[in-house]
Structure 1
């Protein structure tokens, strides 16, 4: 399988709601077109940024459908189908396959602390449900499970496993996963704050929650790393991190902050779903400052 289409900048797609907090077809497609026009290589649909754990199956299927209708065949689409139960995950996996997605991905099962045999079975049953390739998702800070090298190596025996989205903070994990796999395998850097470091230590690509609000900066970071311009790569990572720290300093969920910044950039995708908190009125001036900070950083590199 040619894995080149899985290399590049893959924004983790945001949940798009109407003013009543329901999944919006129009706003979902608006965000699709916005990101496609920015030149991203693909999208990761239905993960943490998509507020998946706060949506029911029909809402998640709707988002998968609207994104596929807008962009299937234009860019690479990865469907995150992780859910609390194996049954629901398989339902989403089969639906994504019907829609023409390029690959599946899933976090490990959450809430109960399960043995690795259960996690292995969970991922394997998702893989067995379709013919699509599969990308493991390691995000221990939210799931409570750190993907072990032994389970990783066991999963690699399944030919459908083509990659891992590694969102643990140590870049060592990226290097170890890359070293354990063949060259014909994609490691996605997860933490946006270490995109450049992750790429330099072995990541082939990136999936991130803040990419959607500043795709230009990550596309440039990808170009700098790929061309060997490491001085500029370090500089742009510093600017990206300044923006992320500012986003995380506001009241409310970071995702609500991202959505408010997007509104200022001309894309209204609503707010977040409770229990995630919306941005407080006291922070709207800071949101404007962050939007200006992003625009200034972009102009510094494109001007």
Structure 2
């Protein structure tokens, strides 16, 4: 029987960005520096190799290199969830086994993309990952990019397994989030995916959040979570609105990930440009991103005084 899953894994997880050198190759030294940066921000852990980490754009070996660097730097200090989803089940299983060998805490995966797969195909895809290691498994539901929306019957079936401990709900419906929480049961984790509705997700039953924009303002999401836990909902709504203003500006650039990575570079943390087809930051946008970084840092400083 699943016990203490919520208390063990709930909280704020940064969906860690890709980290390359100036030639576009995975840079393990830079990976370590970025992972170390997040240790003191108050987050629970890191989500490695997901959308923000460009896992789908990397080779299996590159994804292994990233995880190995993260584990060498922050193992035992942060909880590490590894996205092992790939288009082929064989590669996904290989990544699952590697995550266990590297000492990760949890594995997670989207369905395979491109093909419009049946529920039976997706279930088999996930099940082979689950069976390949002893690590807990978190389903990753992001229908707007995969074309597959997790159904309640499939979730209910999979949640009965000891190793299936939760779902990352990146769909846009908080009603579905609440339904997933109800279907999974008391000791089933639900992570909110859409950063702009973190508070709404928590109110509807999410146990924490995993997000990409967290990476440039983890302190603000930790504070937002704290305000929710303390039932200071009016203050929490004010902070969510502030965060959403920042997210709206980030989404105004040709590349969200390029903008976030450029902000980190302003802070002295080089992660390289996103990998094509994702676009880098345009030179014309750099000045406004410098100003946006000042806005974010001012908000972090303000809430640090509270």
TM bin, normalised by shorter chain, reads: over 0.9
Q: Distance in 1 between matches of 2:72 and 2:165?
A: 25
Tell me the matched-pair count.
302
Residue 15 of structure 1 is aligned with which of 15, 18, 39?
A: 18
| Deviation per residue, 1:43-69 (Å, 9 max, x gap) | 110111110111101000100111111
Per the TM alignment, residue 72 of structure 1 is displaced from its structure 2 partner at its CA by: 1.3
1:301 aligns with 2:289: no
Per the TM alignment, residue 302 of structure 1 is displaced from its structure 2 partner at its CA by: 2.1
Cα-Cα RMSD = 0.9
Q: Distance in 2 between matches of 1:36 and 1:2?
A: 24
Report runs of 4+ in structure 1 exceeding 6 Å deviation: none
CA contact 1:5–1:41 (8 Å) conserved in 2? no
Q: Distance in 1 between matches of 2:182 and 2:267?
A: 40
| Deviation per residue, 1:271-301 (Å, 9 max, x gap) | 1111111010110111111101111222232
Residue 170 of structure 1 is aligned with which of 165, 173, 182?
A: 173
1:36 aligns with 2:39: yes
Mapping of residues 110-189 of structure 1, within 5 Å: 110-189=113-192
1:276 aligns with 2:278: yes
Give ranges in structure 2 of 5+ residues lacking alignment: none
Q: Distance in 1 between matches of 2:280 and 2:52?
A: 14
1:264 aligns with 2:266: yes
2:209 aligns to what? 206
Q: Give TM-score, length-normalised by structure 1.
A: 0.98
Q: Distance in 2 between matches of 1:112 and 1:47?
A: 19
Give ranges in structure 1 of 5+ residues lacking alignment: none
2:252 aligns to what? 249
Secondary structure of the residue that 1:50 maps to in structure 2? Answer: coil
CA contact 1:5–1:76 (8 Å) conserved in 2? no
2:82 aligns to what? 79
2:289 aligns to what? 287
Q: Distance in 2 between matches of 1:215 and 1:245?
A: 17
Q: Distance in 2 between matches of 1:299 and 1:62?
A: 34
1:195 aligns to what? 198
Secondary structure of the residue that 2:165 maps to in structure 1? Answer: strand
2:8 aligns to what? 5
| Deviation per residue, 1:11-56 (Å, 9 max, x gap) | 0011101111110011100001000121211111011111011110
Q: Distance in 2 between matches of 1:180 and 1:84?
A: 27
1:108 aligns to what? 111
| Deviation per residue, 1:71-126 (Å, 9 max, x gap) | 11111111100000000000000000001111110001111001100001011111
Secondary structure of the residue that 1:187 maps to in structure 2? Answer: strand
Q: Distance in 2 between matches of 1:235 and 1:302?
A: 15
